[in-house]
């Protein structure tokens, strides 16, 4: 029978709908509801910059080829996307109105230029004059002149201006809102100390339009915001005389000239101005032209001012030091003796920083090798590595310059690291390095001791506070040997890495054999199920879209293997009628972003478990350097499986992933409510080692 798949991009919109559900949930604290609205908006921006742009480019290719990549014709997917996005935007607008009502109950208001008190008017005029005006550059628009360059991710005010003596003519202008220079939110003075009045920067500018254009003599102004989302992909040229860093810099510049993929505007905008902008931007009916409410670029609301009544952070949201490190002076001493599994953000990330700091100062440490994909703005990881160099250690950083939207910051990190004497590797020209690895070597009594860590998430202490990930610290010799082999391959980008990577015996490494090993594990479960014996697997991932692995899941479900999936985002599998055991798939969206990748196979009772940097996506399995590390110690296997089982019992924040992507919550059929992120905290806090 023909097999069904849900289109990847449609299932991604299903994930973003789950984010919006959190904003809709009145049991969620008000500041978090606002943050979820910001996350929803930011996610959607990136979706249009990357995925919608890709679909539009794909329409230029033969339909048969593209259908195999996208599961459906790109033109049909784009039609579905537009319908879903408009529907979600309506839900977003209703939610924001509801949130504002809740804000009013706490005496927090966002005021526009029409509803200011006399003292607030004076404040806004003075604030604009002293803080904002120097950053405001009005641009007049003309029929016979090309549209000025509009920066991606920026917010713009579209202005229609008239004089009273003009009957049918308007002058148009645009102003880029200088959010980077001035911030998005301005707190206004109030007569009631319990009341908090905020004003958005664009409204500060709109209030001052008569002042800005005073020398033109205009009498009437109508002003509304809009934003343009552009294609964010760029191609790297094949010039062998150009370094990868130079190619990335060139690509970043070309990204700024990307074609518009979405135009979002205030539906109250002057109709003639709207038509003028659409014409000047060369937009057509096939482009996403989306009418919206007054406020755009809602991503800034992720950093909404702290103006609400004191929110008492639940104890379950406070990170704590892993018990193995609580009563020791040195993390290193523990790791050399035993493996430790850290689960963030429940466990403090300080232990990772401490290990690197200890290594930087330890006179016996000779070298540190580490991969870097997305780093914190003032990275403590990098600071520790620089200190290590200054203390005479040989430090190597595999820095992935092509980490999407982090290219510019990684170029700056490259410059700083090289200036400090760090050896910077840039990987291979045709594949990203996404594996999260670190190996530290020390020499004691003429003997080399190796230890380090492997993670499911970035080495980033900032995101580790909100991303739920696993990191295992180990000194296992076989694991360290494999990590060394990967770094050996990375140090020789002009040499085919196949032989070196295939010699790894413990880590599952892509693109060489991770896929094959996963399939082999599933095949063993299928054999056991067909023999009438226990067969079970649990997969936790961010995305499941690789068609080959999904077909293998279908084969396993048809044979009777019990399959449980915890997938945060994209999930393209669909239960088929011939399945002996239906796949149980859920998605958990809560205060922390579920980011870990875990694989569990019953394996005749051996219970093989891995944590990994790789999702079940073709790009991760075939086109990136990825690594999955086996969990070898029985107590850690038991701990990790217990965490998976807690999530599988979630009946508060878990949604069912089904064919129609209805995002229905798992039904609470027991008296006990299980919110997995809270229960995981309790479980880890009470663990005895």
For the annotated catalytic residues, the residue numbers are 434
Residue 281: name the closest of 233, 234, 230, 232 by CA.
230
Q: What are phi and psi of 188, to 5 degrees?
A: -95, 155
**One-character DSSP codes across 310-378:** PP---GGGS-B--HHHHT-S-HHHHHHHS-EEEEETTB-THHHHHHHHHHHH-TTEEEEEEEESS--TT
Contact 582, 657 (CB under 8 A): no
CA distance 433 to 427: 6
Q: Which two tokens stand for residue 181?
A: 């220079």
Torsional class of 549: left (φ above 0), alpha (ψ -120 to 50), beta (otherwise) = alpha
Residue 612: name the closest of 593, 633, 589, 631 by CA.
631
Angle (nearest 5°) at CA 19 between 13 and 22 = 145
From edge to edge, which strands make up the β-sheet containing 196-200? 108-110, 196-200, 185-188
Buried b (16+ CB within 10 A) or exposed e, 315-347: eeeeeeebebbeeeeebbebbbeebbbbbbbbb
Torsional class of 150: left (φ above 0), alpha (ψ -120 to 50), beta (otherwise) = beta
**One-character DSSP codes across 545-611:** --HHHHHHHHHHHHHT-EEEEEESS-B-B---TT-SS--EEEEE-SSSEE--EEEEE-GGGT-EEEE
Contact 401, 372 (CB under 8 A): no
DSSP single-letter state for residue 292? E
In angstroms, what CA-CA distances link 452 with 335, 340, 349, 437, 448? Answer: 8, 11, 15, 8, 13
CA distance 576 to 578: 6
CA distance 461 to 381: 8
CA distance 203 to 524: 63
**Going by DSSP bridges, is the β-strand pair 196-200/108-110 parallel, antiparallel, or unpaired?**
parallel
Beta strands in 147-287 (DSSP E): 156-162, 171-176, 185-188, 196-200, 220-230, 260-266
From edge to edge, which strands make up the β-sheet containing 156-162? 139-141, 171-176, 156-162, 220-230, 260-266, 288-292
Angle (nearest 5°) at CA 684 between 680 and 685 = 115
CA distance 296 to 264: 8
What is the Cα 52 distance to its own chain's centre?
A: 17
Contact 155, 225 (CB under 8 A): yes
């Amino acid at each position: 029978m023909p097999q069904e798949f849900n289109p990847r991009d449609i299932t991604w919109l299903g994930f973003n709908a789950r984010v919006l559900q959190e904003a809709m949930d009145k049991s969620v604290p008000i500041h978090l509801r606002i943050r979820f609205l910001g996350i929803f908006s930011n996610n959607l921006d990136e979706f249009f910059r990357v995925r919608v742009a890709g679909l539009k480019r794909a329409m230029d290719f033969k339909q048969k080829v593209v259908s195999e990549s996208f599961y459906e014709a790109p033109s049909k997917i784009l039609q579905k996307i537009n319908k879903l996005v408009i529907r979600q935007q309506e839900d977003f607008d209703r939610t924001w109105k509801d949130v504002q009502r809740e804000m009013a109950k706490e005496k927090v208001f966002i005021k526009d230029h029409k509803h200011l008190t006399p003292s607030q008017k004076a404040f806004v005029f003075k604030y604009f004059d002293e803080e904002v005006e120097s950053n405001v550059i009005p641009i007049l628009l003309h029929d016979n002149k090309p549209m000025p360059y509009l920066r991606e991710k920026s917010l713009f005010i579209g202005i229609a201006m008239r004089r009273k003596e003009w009957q049918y003519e308007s002058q148009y202008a645009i102003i880029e809102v200088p959010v980077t220079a001035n911030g998005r939110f301005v707190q206004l003075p109030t007569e009631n100390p319990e009341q908090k009045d905020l004003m958005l920067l664009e409204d500060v500018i709109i209030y001052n339009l008569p002042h800005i254009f005073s020398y033109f003599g205009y009498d009437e102004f109508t002003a509304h915001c809009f934003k343009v989302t552009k294609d964010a992909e760029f191609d790297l040229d094949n010039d062998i005389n150009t370094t990868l860093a130079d190619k990335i810099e060139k690509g970043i510049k070309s990204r700024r000239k990307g074609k518009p993929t979405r135009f979002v505007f205030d539906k109250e905008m002057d109709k003639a101005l709207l038509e003028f902008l659409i014409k000047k931007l060369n937009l057509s009916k096939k482009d996403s032209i989306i009418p919206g409410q007054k406020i755009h670029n809602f991503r800034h609301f992720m950093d909404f001012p702290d103006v609400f009544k004191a929110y008492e952070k639940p104890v379950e949201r406070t990170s704590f030091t892993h018990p193995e490190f609580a009563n020791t002076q040195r993390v290193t001493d523990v790791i050399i003796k035993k493996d430790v599994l850290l689960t963030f953000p429940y466990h403090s990330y300080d232990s990772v920083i401490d290990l690197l700091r200890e290594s930087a100062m330890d006179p016996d440490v000779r070298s540190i090798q580490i991969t870097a994909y997305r780093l914190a703005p003032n990275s403590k990881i990098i600071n520790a590595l620089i200190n290590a160099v200054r203390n005479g250690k040989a430090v190597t950083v595999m820095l992935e310059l092509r980490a999407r939207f982090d290219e510019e910051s990684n170029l700056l990190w490259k410059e700083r690291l090289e200036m400090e004497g760090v050896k910077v590797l840039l990987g291979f020209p045709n594949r990203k390095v996404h594996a999260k690895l670190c190996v530290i070597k020390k020499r004691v009594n003429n003997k080399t001791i190796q230890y380090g860590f492997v993670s499911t998430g970035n080495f980033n202490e900032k995101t580790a506070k909100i991303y739920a990930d696993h990191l295992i610290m180990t000194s296992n010799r076989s694991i360290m040997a494999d990590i060394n082999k990967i770094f050996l391959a990375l140090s020789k980008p002009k040499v085919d890495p196949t032989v070196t990577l295939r010699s790894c015996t413990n880590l599952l490494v892509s693109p060489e054999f991770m896929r094959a090993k996963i399939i082999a594990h599933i095949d063993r479960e299928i054999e056991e199920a067909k023999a009438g014996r226990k067969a079970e697997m649990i997969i936790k991932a961010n995305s499941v879209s690789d068609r080959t692995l999904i077909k293998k899941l279908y084969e396993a479900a048809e044979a009777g293997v019990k399959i449980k999936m915890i997938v945060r985002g994209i999930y393209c599998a669909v239960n088929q009628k011939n399945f002996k055991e239906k796949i149980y798939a859920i998605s958990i969206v809560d205060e922390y972003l579920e980011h870990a990748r875990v694989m569990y196979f019953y394996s005749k009772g051996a219970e093989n478990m891995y944590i990994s940097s790789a999702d079940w996506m073709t790009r991760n399995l075939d086109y990136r350097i990825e690594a999955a590390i086996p969990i070898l110690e029985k107590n850690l296997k038991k701990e990790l499986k217990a965490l998976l089982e807690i999530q599988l019992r979630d009946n508060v924040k878990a949604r069912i992933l089904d064919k129609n992507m209805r995002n229905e919550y798992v039904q609470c059929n027991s008296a006990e409510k299980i919110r997995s992120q809270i229960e995981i905290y309790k479980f880890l806090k009470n663990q005895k080692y």
